[in-house]
Structure 1
Amino acid sequence: MTTDSATSSARQILSAEIDELAITTLRFLAVDAVQAANSGHPGLPLGAAPAAWTLWSRHLRHDPAHPGWPDRDRFVLSAGHGSALLYALLNVFGYGLTAAELAQFRQLGSRTPGHPEFGQTPGVETTTGPLGQGLANAVGMALAERMLAARCNDQEHRIVDHRTWVLAGDGDLMEGISHEAASLAGRLGLGRLVVIFDDNNVTIDGPADVSCGDDAMARFAAYGWTTLLVEDGNDVDAIDRALTIARTDDSAPTFIRLRTIIGYGAPGVEGTSRAHGSPLGVETITAMRARCGWPTTQFHVPDELASVAAALAAEGAAARADWVHAYAEWTAANPQSAVDHRLDTVPAPPDGDILSHILDALPDKATASRQASGTALNCLASRYPALVGGSADLAASTNTVIPGGAVSPDDYSGRTVHFGIREHAMAAAMNGIAVHGGLRPFGSTFLVFADYLRPALRLSALMRQPVVYVFTHDSVHVGEDGPTHQPIEQIESLRLIPGVTVLRPADAGETALAWDIAARNLAGPTALILTRQSLPNLGNDGLNDLRRNGLRTVGTATDHPDVLLGASGSEVSLALAAADLLAERGVRAAVVSVMWRERLSEALSVDRTVLPDVPAVWIEAGVTIGWRALARDRDVVVGLNRFGESGPGSQVAAHLGLTPRAVADSALRVLERSVNPS
């Protein structure tokens, strides 16, 4: 069943009476949930219920019995604070979200959390709440749909053929990420993306125009979007016409400005900021029920509406059944593509020894880890068709160009996405690509600009999405660009995010291992921290130790060391040079590379003998606080708790105390202190 035929059939069972009944039901389900929790946001559900019902009943292609159907339309509530409306829709349309769950809105352990959370509630496509993230996620979803359609569809089968719909509010459009994401979507011509702007002109502080006077339609038109205006947010026919135009226009994304009244129908608060984020109260809700002739029973869904929703769901089930048949035929004809682009999840990397394949391709000489990363990425890409991505306008510097060509509005079959200088939108779009399924995304920028995308990376971790972040130019060795471009606190700040695997390799071999770990990590995001400057080749011994315990011994093995020098990334070679100076003084130093500090911390919590029981010096060209947590009382941490300087990288490092002599002197001091603790 095509979308058009499903829509035509749906219209036969709909009427003005059913529409009014459904909209009223959605409104009261939402306000009842907020009131039960004594917490939440009733204003958006009351104002946007007509648009939500019109979309879900006439245009959204979905099967509530199979919410993970790969070719379903995606609906993203970017204004996630209006979650009670989404939960009401899921209840009415039969997603298994019961009235009892609605009554547990915002309660610990319920499937109706305060903001929609991916993986917790069937029918929720992505985690939203931080404003603008959902809209940018949707850009990634729409991009994934087009890229997969170009890879998978053929003349006989259209197994990727769906749309992405977004409900966004004033706050979404004010956030800077929406500008980045909308610009990218317009440039890429993502015609299957539709944003409905719930324009109620109200924010928490009062009228939205107190702080924002943008002409939203002119703005989106300038981005290359088709723009439509619906003057009355309660006019189902007008909303339907706009959605129909949007659904039949694949030439550009569509922006629908929908004028609504926040808190519609709630006496005393309608149209004001008081409707935004507080329960309406029993008295107000009672008055609303009386005005609408609505039963006093909470979470009431009329039988007539339940029957209509079930019939609409059956049409979605029929569409899915047709798709399942077509997919089986396509799989039989394209078995390898079905494996390469598994549509219901992020495809896993290929079986086999990826690491050896990468190691064989690496040059046997001093190499910047960003360059080794480029070699590793290309080796991986040659075996991993689902791997796609790009950079925030830095591909040549981050070494993230892979074969297969670039994605463009005229050709989505490429593998490289030019995200532009839009770090935040890049990361959020990658989240959208990941939750969509079928592709494995990576993106890159300089490490210092990780701050620009941090909110989206945090959501990668919260949603446990296997997005790969390639961060290069990782320290004061950036040099002449100066302190604005020299990351100091960024590595540590990434380690603070729960669920992020942070890897800082010390040479080309470790970089190969880092990519192997990243490729196999399907449980969350991975951040690769890479150098601009060349690093000496330390050999490939002990790489499995890095995978297991987060560290390996490098340099000349020392059975009974006097001191331990531990470091990550470029500072490992610094530690080796310091060990040579100590040897001249008769001090035996063991050097360990700590590529994966969190894994080392985990290993130490189980077995302290992972490290020799001697005083240690820990070295990293960044803030020291995290290493101090790892160090014992007798240990010393060498790092930077200040910003850098502008100048050649090696000179800046020396100026800031990152020299072999300084590390060796620190080791001598820690040894002296261990002998004479007073």
Structure 2
Amino acid sequence: MTVAPSEMLSQTAEIDRLAINTLRFLAADGVEAANSGHPGLPLGASPIAWTLWSRHLRHDPADPRWPDRDRFILSAGHGSMLLYSLLHVFGYDMPIEELRRFRQLGSRTPGHPEFGHTPGVETTTGPLGQGLANAVGMALAERMLAARCNTEEHTVVNHRTWVVAGDGDLMEGISHEAASLAGRLRLGKLTVIFDDNDITIDGPARQSCTDDAEARFAAYGWRVLAVEDGNDIPALDRAFATARESEDRPTFIRVRTTIGYGAPGVEGTSKAHGSPLGATTLAAMRTRLDWPEASFHVPVAVGATAAAVAANGAAVHAEWAATHARWQTGHAQLSADFPLDAPPVPDDLDVLRPLSDGAVADGRTATRKASGVALNALTAVYPGLIGGSADLAGSTNTAIPGGDVGPGDYAGRTIHFGIREHAMAAVMNGISLHGGLRPFGSTFLVFADYLRPALRLSALMKQPVIYVFTHDSVHVGEDGPTHQPIEQLESLRLIPGLTVVRPADAAETALAWELAAANLDGPTALVLTRQDLPVLGGAGLDDIRSHGARVVRTQPGPADVVLAATGSEVSLALEAADMLAGLNVAAEVVSVMWRERLDGQVRAGRHQLPDVPIVWVEAGVSIGWRALARPQDAVIGLERFGESGPGREVAEHLGLTASAIARAALRSIGRDDVITGHAADSDA
């Protein structure tokens, strides 16, 4: 049996000194070459990084995607040159030329770490607090997969998650949400190392934050340790060893460091944080730390020591690979259900097809309810699908069978994220990044604002996270304008790479889940109603797959006008079409479930809009629809916040009525017929 690096290698104090200064100067040289970056954190935290990577981190540089590796997350992503220097020294695919190209276009060393861009980078960090919350998701995924996959004969999931976080990470609200959840779930294989240098960009951290971080994490239920001198390698080693022994709760280690350590005139000050040291200071630092003048220097002894660590990691990896192969042979279905190095693939999406004929309801149903039926049908054939809600499962209809995930019991499928929307999204990102599970999470659409930074990172990292957003319009009613989304739907559509679908009935809702389950290239947002809608049936769903929209009311002859809407407004358009028919106006009704798909197909010339005028309708801001509309078209939306009252009355008060749609249609074809409707919509 191979042993941990700290037990195998006899590393001398001189090797440690050389290695730590290697990391410091590689980082400082990279920032200097770029004339841009953040040297302060790497200079202060290099002893933390070297001690962890050389003695405790379970990794194989030859295979950065080894499923049972330890995860290392630099949550304070502005210190990225520390991570890139580690990757180079330990033999990852990070040649020295890439360190010289720090922050340059096309390099593997961008200003902040980017997942999928640089081998060895576990997640995209930079927005502070996100990496820490991602790590909670990774640690949770490890426990959940261990509960599912490990057998008496074979242990294939057994690794730790390590985080280096700074003052900024701990100030951000998401760190409070995520750390609280991790403590509740007792994620014993998670360790957060706090680089406590008491410096932010504007000056000492204490001028804005005097939290007792140790007391805070202890209150969350974490084990709390402290190292008072960040250059004390034996103390760091002991603290990390203690963390590795922890199985019953996560560990928080406060390490007192000096930002910009070794740089005369700037160390310990905010000057070291976000600017190159400058040639004079860097030269003085070389003299002070007895370092050669040549830039990007790596001593042979340091390379040899790191290579020995890498070789040990490769040996541990080889042992695991043999165990994994035996596990796959003996548990073929289990290994198919939970591919540890990738997102699981749904076994049979055809299970959703019968739901498209309207059988989920008798006449009318809310799309949130239809979503619950579809989700439960999908769950039955998709073992890797797990998730929960931000304390709203009963309202979002996202309760699934399989039991709850709780402290010491990780075999369940439902995660109770609590009222922590931001952490929920970031934790889901971590679960997805880990591999082996497919997460979904739910809340009301208006609260997408609370989680938007993490959702943006879902899209940036192309993670197949599924977001279920319900209560999608002013039909929320009595809860009032604070809970009635107006701009949220359009704001989601602005995020590149996010698939946003707003189904109009039960059939489209089943299709929405099919699209979400099949989309492994990025996140999907399902936008669903609280109120009941007519069931329109499954005809034309293939048109949504191909170009994002389907016709739900046709005409025997040519249409005079097209009424195109999404979600609940499709039923309004159908009512308007009936009104127009009474005036001998032929109106076709189209449900635009997936607007970006339609827009893309039209712009690419693969789908043509009809020659007749179109009235575009949605219960939200109209700016996106106006970009799609042609001069002969009309747009009906909302350009103001809502009111408190019964949902239908609020919608009528704001002009979201069938008569308003009919009048707009008449105007678009040059008719001025009078249609009697609600007084408030007379000018809509």
* Same fold at TM > 0.5: yes
> Are the counterparts in 2 of residues 170 and 203 from structure 1 also a CA contact under 8 Å?
yes
Alignment-derived partner of residue 107 in structure 2? 110
AA matched with 2:585: V
1:333-386, CA deviations, whole angstroms, 9 ceiling, x for partnerless residues?
110010110010111211452432543762343110000000000100100000
Aligned residues: 672
SS at match of 1:672: coil
Q: In structure 1, what residue type is equivalent to 2:477? A: G
- Partner Cα distance (2:12, 2:602) in 1: 66
Deviation at 1:556, TM superposition (A): 3.7
Whole-Å separation in 2 of the counterparts to 1:616 and 1:193: 55
The letter of the residue matching 1:295 is P
Is 2:125 aligned against 1:128? yes
Q: For residues 525 and 10 of structure 2, what CA distance do their matches in structure 1 show?
A: 51
Alignment correspondent of 1:41: 38
Aligned twin of 2:243 = 246
| Cα offset, 1:8, TM superposition | 4.5
1:589-604 equivalences under 5 Å are 589-604=587-602
Normalising by structure 2, we get a TM-score of 0.97
Q: Give 1:525's aligned residue.
A: 523
SS at match of 1:653: helix
CA distance in 2, matches of 1:13, 1:36: 35
Q: Is the 8 Å Cα contact of residues 461 and 497 (structure 1) preserved in structure 2? A: yes
**Counterpart residue number, 2:670:** 672
CA offset at residue 13 of structure 1? 2.9
What amino acid sits opposite 1:159 in the alignment? V
Q: Does the CA-based 8 Å contact 1:474-1:531 persist in structure 2? A: yes
C-alpha separation in 1, matches of 2:390 and 2:126: 24
Distance 1:402 1:358 in 2: 17
Q: Is the 8 A contact 2:262 2:289 kept in 1?
A: no
* Aligned equivalents of 2:63, 2:556: Cα separation in 1: 59
Match for residue 469 of structure 2? Answer: 471
Structure 1 match to 2:443: 445
Task: Please give the residue correspondences for 1:377-396 in structure 2 after superposition, counting only pairs within 5 Å.
Answer: 377-396=375-394
- Paired AA for residue 466 in structure 1: P
Q: Which residue of 2 aligns with 1:185?
A: 182
User: Within 2, Cα distance between the matches of 1:673 and 1:93?
Assistant: 75
| One-letter code aligned to 2:302 | L
CA distance in 2, matches of 1:7, 1:29: 23
Deviations for 1:144-166, whole angstroms, at most 9, x for unmatched residues? 00000000001111100000000
- Tell me if structure 1 keeps the 8 A contact 2:349–2:378: no
Find the counterpart in structure 2 of residue 571 from structure 1.
569
When structure 1 is superposed on structure 2, of 512-521 and 344-353 the one drifting more is 344-353
In the alignment, what sits opposite 2:321?
A: 324
| 1:166 corresponding residue in structure 2 | 163
Q: Aligned in 2, Cα 1:609/1:335: closer, same or farther, shift over 3 Å?
A: closer
Residues 13 and 308, structure 1, Cα contact 8 Å, conserved in 2: no
- Secondary structure in 2 aligned to 1:353? helix
Shift of 1:290: 1.5
Does residue 1:456 correspond to 2:436, yes or no?
no
- Structure 2 counterpart of 1:583, one-letter code: A
Q: C-alpha distance in 2, partners of 1:13/1:510? A: 63
The one of 21, 24, 29 equivalent to 1:24 is: 21
| % identical equivalent positions | 71
Tell me by how many angstroms 1:458 deviates. Answer: 0.1
Aligned-pair distance for 1:32? 0.4
* Structure 2 equivalent of residue 499 of structure 1: 497
**Residue number among 625, 644, 647 corresponding to 2:623 in the alignment:** 625
What residue is the counterpart of 1:658 in the other structure? Answer: 656
- Equivalent runs, 1:257-336 vs 2, <5 Å: 257-336=254-333
Give SS of 2:430's match.
helix
Task: Report if the CA contact (8 A) 2:547-2:607 is conserved.
Answer: no
User: How much has 1:298 moved relative to structure 2?
Assistant: 1.2
Indicate conservation of the 8 Å contact 2:43/2:260, yes or no: yes
Contact 1:76 1:167 in 2 (8 A): yes
Contact 1:354 1:516 in 2 (8 A): no
Instruction: Write out per-residue CA displacement over residues 292-330 of structure 1, whole angstroms, 9 at most, x where no aligned residue.
Output: 221111111111111111111000000000000000111
1:424-443 deviation per Cα after TM superposition (whole angstroms, max 9, x unaligned): 00000000000000000000
Q: Secondary structure at the match of 1:610?
A: coil
The letter of the residue matching 1:192 is K
Q: Which letter maps to 1:548?
A: S
Deviation of residue 603 (structure 1)?
1.3
Deviation at 1:669, TM superposition (A): 1.1
SS of the residue 2:669 aligns to: helix
Structure 2: segments with no counterpart, 5+ residues: 674-684
**Residue pair 2:38, 2:273 contacting (<8 A) in 1 also:** yes
CA contact (8 A) 1:407 1:416 kept: yes
RMSD of Structure 2 on Structure 1 (CA): 1.3
Give the Cα–Cα distance (whole angstroms) in 1 for the partners of residues 179 and 544 of structure 2.
41
Structure 2 CA distance for aligned equivalents of residues 611 and 98 of structure 1 = 52
Q: Distance in 1 between matches of 2:604 and 2:181?
A: 47
Deviations 1:77-125 (A, max 9, x none): 0000000000000000000201100000000010000000000111100
